[in-house]
Amino acid sequence: MRTCIAMAGGIGRLILLLTLPTTASAQTQSFEEWLAEDRAAFIEYSETVTRQYQEFVEQEQKAFEAFVKEAGRVWGKDDVWVPESKVWVQYSEDLEERSGVDFDGGGVRVQVVVDADSDEAAIEAELAGAVERLALSGTEGPIQMFRRRLFGGKKSSGTRSSAQGGASYTVRSGDTLWGLARKLGVSRNDLARANGIDPEGWLRVGQVLAIPGAAPAKPASGWKPSKNPLLSGQLQMRDGGAVTPNNAADYAREAVAQGVEVRDVKGSDGRTRRVAGVKLSLIPEHIRVRAQRFRPLVEKFAGKYGVLPSLIYALMETESSFNPRARSGAPAYGLMQLVPRSGARDAYRYVHKQDKLVPASFLYNPSNNVELGCAFMHILSNRYLKKITHPLSRMFCAIAAYNTGAGNVARAFTNTRSVNQAAPVINDMSPDEVYTRLRNDLPYEETRNYIKKVTERMPQYSAWN
């Protein structure tokens, strides 16, 4: 009897064929044809997913560029706040209200465009409303908002519809001023006049138009508090009490009473706008509060994938400072800053046994993000770096690989990107020597600093192992 083991389509599926020496050649041919078809189908599917990833990245870039351009029209091209891995940014739909939270340093800024002739009381009331919305927001980031405008999607809760609260329309591809006037039942000149635009001019995709004649709503119309505010447990009243949905309005008034900064800004559209702003602070232990929130997830998935919990906490603090809405330029998303077309894709295939586009919305879900992050660390340690024998040396290399890839880790020990060639060199060194080599010889300064930050933060979470 003859035994043949084949790897079909490179997907790790073993096919065991037991055939007699007298097996008909037609049967052998049938299997070979099937194998060829299966491999071709898998390759085609994988290429399709890769194209989906490329389309996703292109859409993200278009959404980012549209946001920066439109926000610049209001705030000036040099004063646009963009989200970062440790900085959460939120804008209203009309871009005239914004807030930014530094999840590393704990600083908070809130700004809103106000009427030029508003008195002090009106300005404070408008700004207090913005602070209250920040305290109770979920929320949708500006890039997500513009993806929704450009490519469709559901609006997240906790996002203010408009600074003025009136009826509005967001311009889509193919819209014209003439067509919208007919669609909305208003004259073209009235629509143009209400929005300060040329009746013969062009509209911009993503532009928010006020609809003339529509009854204005209250300032917070269309806005609903999030069921899970991002800043829950991280803001406090002057008396030390926690800020809750029941006292958020009081907190906002207290914050504004501490002092409001009013200034003029000139947008790239040439208009000068009056802006009111206030600066706040998170509680001193805000990082620990956020870390505590994700303990159940870390305990569950670190255990499932055999990863040290303190390592996961240290990675999360270094990557995002426990900001579940983190977005960096890679682009990478969420608590563990997973890149959709590389680490997130590898981890999703490992966890779900399926190659699939992993969108930002999936990675902004803390449970999804922590599971894929833990799974990716498992893959690094037990697949890419499995030939490194000492567990501590392997962990140091996995930390560096999480940031820069296994190939660049190998370069710190050899002149190649081959982990197979680097492993014997690493195995001849002590863990301390491996750590020192990584700190000194990794190709990029960011990664050399990264491994130091992660390892120094691990002891802070050792009690949670």
| 297 contacts 370 by C-beta, under 8 angstroms | yes
Give the pLDDT means over successive 10-residue stretches in the chain (465 positions): 35 30 41 56 70 85 93 95 95 93 98 91 93 88 86 57 55 70 70 78 77 51 77 95 94 95 95 96 98 98 97 98 92 95 94 91 96 98 97 98 97 96 98 98 97 98 96
User: By C-alpha distance, which of 273, 253, 251 is closest to 264?
Assistant: 273
CA dist 168 and 93 (Å) reads: 10
The CATH number for 456's domain is 1.10.530.10
Q: Does one domain contain both 50 and 77?
A: no
Q: Does one domain contain both 25 and 85?
A: no
Q: Does one domain contain both 234 and 344?
A: no
What is the reported pLDDT for 344?
Answer: 95
CA dist 194 and 181 (Å) reads: 12
Length of the chain: 465
Q: Does one domain contain both 311 and 209?
A: no
Of 220, 250, 281, the last residue of a domain is 281
Domain carrying residue 310 = 288-464
CA dist 213 and 165 (Å) reads: 13
Which two structure tokens, joined as six digits, stand for 164? Answer: 């003025």
User: By C-alpha distance, which of 454, 465, 453 is closest to 310?
Assistant: 465
How many domains are there within the chain?
A: 3
Identify the helix (H) or strand (E) that includes residue 274.
strand 272-281
Name the DSSP class of 136.
T
What is the reported pLDDT for 227?
Answer: 87
Q: Does one domain contain both 118 and 9?
A: no
CA dist 225 and 358 (Å) reads: 27
Q: What share of the chain is helix, strand, coil (3-state, %, to 5)?
A: 50, 15, 40
CA dist 124 and 405 (Å) reads: 50
Q: Does one domain contain both 8 and 105?
A: no
Name the DSSP class of 104.
T
Q: Does one domain contain both 75 and 209?
A: yes
CA dist 106 and 48 (Å) reads: 42
Q: Does one domain contain both 294 and 419?
A: yes
- The structure tokens 């490194």 sit at 388
What is the reported pLDDT for 180?
Answer: 76
pTM for the predicted model, two decimal places = 0.77
Which two structure tokens, joined as six digits, stand for 410? Answer: 């190998």
| 374 contacts 304 by C-beta, under 8 angstroms | yes
What is the reported pLDDT for 47?
Answer: 80
Q: Does one domain contain both 165 and 248?
A: yes
| 412 contacts 445 by C-beta, under 8 angstroms | no
| 413 contacts 426 by C-beta, under 8 angstroms | yes
DSSP 218-247: -TTTT----SS-TTTTS-B-TTSPBP-TTT
Pairing of strands 107-114, 168-170: unpaired
Of 262, 281, 300, the last residue of a domain is 281
Furthest-apart CA pair in the chain: how many Å?
97
- The structure tokens 């900064």 sit at 261
Of 281, 313, 330, the last residue of a domain is 281
- CB neighbours of 138 closer than 8 A, spacing ≥ 6? 156, 157, 158, 159, 226, 227, 228, 229, 230
CA dist 348 and 408 (Å) reads: 23
CA dist 402 and 339 (Å) reads: 11
Q: Does one domain contain both 351 and 441?
A: yes
Q: Does one domain contain both 314 and 449?
A: yes
* Cβ neighbours of 75 (radius 10 Å): 23
Q: Does one domain contain both 226 and 371?
A: no
